[in-house]
Structure 1
Amino acid sequence: MTMNKRPITADDLTRIRIVKDPQLAVDGEKYAFVQTIIDDDDHQYYSHIFIHNLKDDIPVQWTFGKVNDHSPRWSPDGSEIAFVSNRSGVDQIWAMSALGGEPRQITNVRHGVKDPLWSPNGRYLLFTTSLAADESLTSDQSEAKKEEPIYIEKLKYKSDGRDLYNQRRFHLVLYDLKMNQMEVLTHGDFDHHSADWSPDSRQIVFSANRDKDEDYKETLDLFIIDTETKDIVKLTDSTGVFTMAVWSPDGKQIACFGHELEYKGATLNQVWLVNPLSKERTCMTLKWDVQIGDVTLGDVRASQPAPKPIWSKDQQHIFFTASDHGNTGLYQMDMHGEIKTIHEEENHVFASTYHPERKVFVVGISDPSNPGDFFKINTVEERKVRLTDVNADFLKAVHLSIPEPITAKAEDGWEINGWIMRPANFEEGQQYPMVLEIHGGPHVMYGNTFFHELQLLAASGYVVLYTNPRGSHGYGQTYADACRYDYGGKDYLDLMTAVDYVTDQFDFIDDTRLGVTGGSYGGFMTNWILGHTNRFKAAVTDRSISNWTSFYGVSDIGHYFTDWELGTNIVEDPEKLWQHSPIRYAKNINTPLLIMHGENDMRCPIEQGEQLYTTLKHLQKPVAFLRFPETSHELSRSGPPSMRIARLDHMLKWFHTHLFS
């Protein structure tokens, strides 16, 4: 371990500062961003707005208090910053002068707001809120709140993190700053989101599924609404998923991300151009076998706004992020589909903002040794300059393990990429237990970003192995699609191939002391592994799937996800669902297993953990069950800080008990 540095701890979650959502000002001389901390005293999240002049060394904090301020957006004339804050109790839009001073509240909306967006002429603020059909925008403080039965007729009536819909849908609302009036633009039993203004401030493009069979379709279309006539025009034809739409500077084209669901949830995103008049759309990146957008997994960067495509001033280029072989970089595409790299290193571009006149980006970049900072990239000079160092004190105090890339070859010749981390107290000639970490998704990727949990395991004396088995993004369309209909097949063999490779190659790994853990799909795979091998001496399964036959009916995505990923459903072929269910193989499980699950998880509901626990306990197998009250599927990334820390402490205790004893 580096002299005078200590091992990282679970409590260090409270010492890591997370920056996100940079927004360059109109003058290009400064940018706003959000910094989130976990308070040492009450273990709550607090976020504040910071302003950083590009000529200054240190950003200046602009908002304060035990509040959550986020989504800063500069007015078109640069005189004000609008942002979202819960300082009045519910998320509302607030604004403050670009010269500083006290913020003032702009909206008072019943269920709060999100995604504020200035119109180019500065007269309007567009935002999203949730409303039931008979609700008014503003709330009456005298209204008595009471519990009532919830009547449901929809197939889609809940989602993780959103809970039961209570008949509410997301709608676009226009706030006229000159008239001090609000108007709901969209109506109907549909969700509307991901909006952008046309350059003339009259039209808005947005994404929605407004199909009459919306309950049974997973498509997303692009629409345009005229703010004066309220006419809505549909641009796409309900065959795919199109979102993150952005108007070109002259208003003649719309760039967006999307795909035609050719491989269902495993389909690679592409960059598209859509003509708003003719509705003609063109896929611009079809010849590039790379996932457009950021799919790099981490556990400290929750609710990061996804970067939209960005137009150059001359409309000859579009900038976007893409994820490839464990890295998320920034790229430029011309109108012929030719792609040029703006920034691609062994790290993770998690945010970007661009000034078209100055041709300058401010990007957020993380790597395994840094939770994230901002950098300026000048596309003319092709030069990168560091702007912030928000975790300098923390990083000076702790020892971090730097991942080493590995490549294992499966029996069929496919290459499996991954990383290995040595324990913090590593000494040549010594042997250490190893933990295999398996990511969720499965159509995401581990990559070169900061991951607190992985660092914690290494700091606690473990070798850590994590890989991208087939089914992961980052290695092309064929690779991403390769686990569908085969869960527990070659994806399982890929993981075991990687374990075989590192235990053969590195003599410091004690292959008699192996642990395994994972969440969501990674939890499914942990359960599956235990039913098919006794090679591991301890396991922790997190928010997992144990029984596909029940998952179909209780998960917010179960009714289509089983079709997409296993190729069938409980009505058509319940036997296939059962064949792929880890609980079917419970009698083979002898590895001590800790089951962790959030009680409010609607993605992989807690009954999945309950079934596996009850079955193993009934079979008198070594198992324990850890339940987290009032936590969703996102517990490990954005759950209550005290619960996140407790989760990590229990994981370490379980592995220490079974791998160090």
Structure 2
Amino acid sequence: MTSTKRALKTEDLTRLEVYSDPQISPDGNFYSYVSTTANDNDDYNSHLFVQSIQGESPVQWTFGDVKNSNLRYSPDGKRAVFQSTRSGLSQLWMLPTEGGEARQLTTFKNGASSPTWSKDGKYIFFHASLDKDDDLHNQKEQSKEERQKEQEAKKKQPLIVNSLKYKSDSSGFHDNKRVQLIVLDVENNTFTQLTRDNADHSFQDISPDGKQLLFAANLNADADYELSNDLFLLDLQSKEHKKLTDGKGGYHSASFSPSGDKIVSFGHGFEYAGATLTEIYVFDLETGERTCLSQTWDIQLGDLMIGDTRLGQSEAGPVWAKDEKSLFFIATDQGSTGLYEVSLDKELTTLYEKDNHVFGFSYDQNKEAFVLGISSATNPCDFYYLEKDGTLTQLTKSNRAFLEEVAIAEPETISVKADDGKEIQGWLLKPYGFTEGKKYPFVLEIHGGPHAMYGQTFFFEMQLLAARGYVVLYTNPRGSHGYGQEFVDACRSDYGGGDYTDLMTAVDYVLDNYTYIDEDRLGVTGGSYGGFMTNWIVGHTNRFKAAVTQRSISNWLSFYGVSDIGFFFTKWEHGLNLLDDPEKLWEISPLKYAENVETPLLILHGELDFRCPVEQGEQLFIALKHLRKEVEFVRFPGANHELSRSGKPAMRQERLNHICRWFEQYL
């Protein structure tokens, strides 16, 4: 197989344009979106674009080395509020949609985000991080120099810790600030703080009559020990709030019906801990009754697709239909995500589902149509217009020059029967320049989570390995989403058991059925849970000639106490905490089997990874090096657990180069 296009290169990563957050204008004639690209300062720019539904060329609304996002149209469509870092921190800005300069709305010391209009267009609700005694009337954004000075001073002070949840991978060490809900009176330019509890609040929606605000938070006294997230109704006149949920589950993505008498929400009660399928609930505000619309389904609601080129947030639902008789949402199923509709009578309808990744949508109530964001295995992203009759029209042609120049491998879907009869779905990529009769080295990719899903989306790392001459296999072993509740729960309390044999069975299957794979040149890699599994594999078989473990777990005993999720994750996934049965946690720790490792192992880890802290990689490196094994440790400064997905562009490329270097050396 020959190609007139060139092979993919590592530096192509910085050429990609990534779309997100489609928003249809109130009149339905236009939609806006966010485009994110790498810039020359080893960072990203995010800019706002608008395009006619008729498909005319998109028009760029914002410019410069800044991040702009979360554009929301006013109800009359004449103005748009968005968040931007153009002043230094993320603040809210207003833009006239018919042309003109943006005007800054907030100057909060810690920034402002997530704006939403009231239904009458008189108010804007948003998030702000505040200290307990902060005065909204004295909020002033610091200069870059002032922020640096404050940060330097903070580094010289000891960190006093009093809670379990004192750090997180995305935010680092926490302080005493809490996310509060603020409302801006647009006409009078005045701010009012709506919440004051010692908790982080997440705005969900404002009622159509503007009298009640819907938010999510954990306001329980034992919130530090819990993972629940409740829904609350806040009366904007009395400032009293009422809890809608029972304190035993996690609820999010909630909104009022157009008439305001019902609320819809995603959520679940942690029946299977972190492996619980999300449900869709409707709350009747008059009767207080809660109805689960999805109780007979066996699919995961929302977008659980894993990729390494998705930047920015997008709507996954649920969204009310204009007539309030049904709801729209994205669901994750069988390696794809699609757009679905459910009636209040619980009738499920597929509106759009192909072999690809619907990563976001916007609903036009007037025309009962949608703008869909879609990625496929061979196209990073584009927007499409889905009409009521099912007609699909492409609106954008992102990355056109890139796709015309670079060869992208089309995956072959495979299905493998596991030892116990479970069907394991996977995908196989042929190498660039594939020639019949030739033998090629092979790499097995293992996803993180473990409760997530590989599938029909663009994955740069897979494509790069194929471009470098490898056959690439990626699968969804038990524990993955997309195949029902029993399947996603099947790896809990069995790490290194059925999930391991699923992967090995898949490898055996492709070796038996694809003669172009060289069984003497097998490699394996994965990150997070996939890193754990890579570590487990090399401690239990020598069939792989090279391995790369990324942001991995090697020791469940220490993971319990150092990870930002360790104190509950070991219980969720293994059924026990450190003090319950340390011997059992040691039995399933890859570090225990270091003496068995004969596979050359490259360990990649971010220095600021709080999810799977760098000491996990360090322990494994020291043990293997002390045993005189073939091992190398690469530590990425300033990088957290999201290095491969949203890390600095230069570090992301460095990581890919090290993976390729290791496999080229040993395969």
1:2 Cα offset (Å)? 5.0
Aligned-partner Cα distance in 2 for 1:626–1:482: 33
Aligned-partner Cα distance in 2 for 1:140–1:98: 26
Task: State the Cα deviation string for residues 416-438 of structure 1 (Å, max 9, x = none).
Answer: 11010000121000000000000
Task: State the Cα deviation string for residues 122-145 of structure 1 (Å, max 9, x = none).
Answer: 111111122222334413749762
Aligned-partner Cα distance in 2 for 1:159–1:140: 25
Aligned-partner Cα distance in 1 for 2:555–2:569: 13
Aligned-partner Cα distance in 2 for 1:397–1:570: 53
Task: State the Cα deviation string for residues 309-335 of structure 1 (Å, max 9, x = none).
Answer: 111111011000000000100001011
Output aligned runs, 1:12-91, within 5 Å: 12-39=12-39, 41-91=40-90
Hey, what does 1:100 align to over in structure 2? 99
Task: State the Cα deviation string for residues 559-588 of structure 1 (Å, max 9, x = none).
Answer: 000000000011111111111100010110
Hey, what does 2:481 align to over in structure 1? 473
- Corresponding residue SS for 1:512: strand
Output aligned runs, 1:452-601, within 5 Å: 452-601=460-609
CA contact (8 A) 1:470 1:490 kept: yes
Hey, what does 1:212 align to over in structure 2? 221
* Equivalent of 2:406 in 398, 401, 405: 398
Task: State the Cα deviation string for residues 56-97 of structure 1 (Å, max 9, x = none).
Answer: 421111111111111111011100111110000000011111
Aligned-partner Cα distance in 1 for 2:142–2:131: 18
Hey, what does 2:361 align to over in structure 1? 352
Aligned-partner Cα distance in 2 for 1:521–1:240: 24
Output aligned runs, 1:356-367, within 5 Å: 356-367=365-376
Aligned-partner Cα distance in 2 for 1:136–1:400: 54
Paired residue type of 2:105: I
Hey, what does 1:164 align to over in structure 2? 173
Task: State the Cα deviation string for residues 338-360 of structure 1 (Å, max 9, x = none).
Answer: 10010000001001000111111
Aligned-partner Cα distance in 2 for 1:28–1:2: 45
Task: State the Cα deviation string for residues 467-522 of structure 1 (Å, max 9, x = none).
Answer: 00000000000000000000011000000000000011000000110000000000
Aligned-partner Cα distance in 1 for 2:78–2:305: 36
Q: 1:511 to 1:48 in 2, by over 3 A?
A: same
Gaps of 5+ in 1: none
CA contact (8 A) 1:236 1:279 kept: no
Aligned-partner Cα distance in 2 for 1:189–1:627: 36
Task: State the Cα deviation string for residues 373-425 of structure 1 (Å, max 9, x = none).
Answer: 0000012x211100000111110000011110111111111111101000012
1:228 Cα offset (Å)? 2.2
State whether structure 2 residue 199 is matched by structure 1 residue 198: no
Aligned-partner Cα distance in 2 for 1:149–1:545: 28
Aligned-partner Cα distance in 2 for 1:169–1:629: 28
Hey, what does 1:612 align to over in structure 2? 620
Aligned-partner Cα distance in 2 for 1:220–1:173: 20
Hey, what does 1:319 align to over in structure 2? 328
CA contact (8 A) 1:155 1:216 kept: yes
**Percent identical residues:** 52
Higher mean C-alpha deviation, range 128-137 or range 173-182: 128-137
CA contact (8 A) 1:405 1:417 kept: yes
Task: State the Cα deviation string for residues 634-653 of structure 1 (Å, max 9, x = none).
Answer: 00000000000000001100
CA contact (8 A) 1:62 1:100 kept: no
Task: State the Cα deviation string for residues 527-576 of structure 1 (Å, max 9, x = none).
Answer: 00000000100000000000000000000000000000000011111111
Hey, what does 2:140 align to over in structure 1? 139
TM-score by length of 2: 0.97
Hey, what does 1:426 align to over in structure 2? 434
1:4 Cα offset (Å)? 2.8
- Corresponding residue SS for 2:375: strand
Aligned-partner Cα distance in 2 for 1:197–1:308: 16
TM-score by length of 1: 0.98
CA contact (8 A) 1:194 1:244 kept: no
Aligned-partner Cα distance in 2 for 1:19–1:407: 31
CA contact (8 A) 2:477 2:503 kept: yes
Higher mean C-alpha deviation, range 56-65 or range 284-293: 56-65
Aligned-partner Cα distance in 1 for 2:460–2:621: 28
Higher mean C-alpha deviation, range 140-149 or range 197-206: 140-149
1:286 Cα offset (Å)? 0.9
* Equivalent of 1:627 in 635, 639, 648: 635
Paired residue type of 1:338: E
Hey, what does 1:130 align to over in structure 2? 129
State whether structure 2 residue 293 is matched by structure 1 residue 287: no
- Corresponding residue SS for 1:399: coil
Aligned-partner Cα distance in 1 for 2:299–2:394: 27
1:226 Cα offset (Å)? 1.7
Hey, what does 1:641 align to over in structure 2? 649
Task: State the Cα deviation string for residues 239-275 of structure 1 (Å, max 9, x = none).
Answer: 1111100110000110110111100000000111012
CA contact (8 A) 2:126 2:203 kept: no
Aligned-partner Cα distance in 1 for 2:613–2:178: 23
Gaps of 5+ in 2: none
Paired residue type of 1:51: V
1:207 Cα offset (Å)? 1.1
CA contact (8 A) 2:607 2:640 kept: yes
Hey, what does 1:653 align to over in structure 2? 661
Output aligned runs, 1:360-399, within 5 Å: 360-379=369-388, 381-399=389-407
Aligned-partner Cα distance in 2 for 1:479–1:303: 29
Task: State the Cα deviation string for residues 184-214 of structure 1 (Å, max 9, x = none).
Answer: 2111221111421111122111111111110
Aligned-partner Cα distance in 2 for 1:553–1:390: 44
1:110 Cα offset (Å)? 1.1
Aligned-partner Cα distance in 2 for 1:530–1:42: 39
CA contact (8 A) 2:22 2:314 kept: no
Hey, what does 2:307 align to over in structure 1? 298
1:366 Cα offset (Å)? 0.5
Aligned-partner Cα distance in 1 for 2:121–2:208: 11
Paired residue type of 1:472: S
1:307 Cα offset (Å)? 2.0
CA contact (8 A) 1:94 1:104 kept: yes
Aligned-partner Cα distance in 1 for 2:18–2:78: 27
- Corresponding residue SS for 2:663: helix
Q: 1:62 to 1:140 in 2, by over 3 A?
A: closer
Paired residue type of 1:164: F
Task: Provide the aligned length of Structure 1 versus Structure 2.
Answer: 657
Aligned-partner Cα distance in 2 for 1:112–1:425: 50
- Corresponding residue SS for 1:6: coil
Hey, what does 1:9 align to over in structure 2? 9
1:306 Cα offset (Å)? 4.3
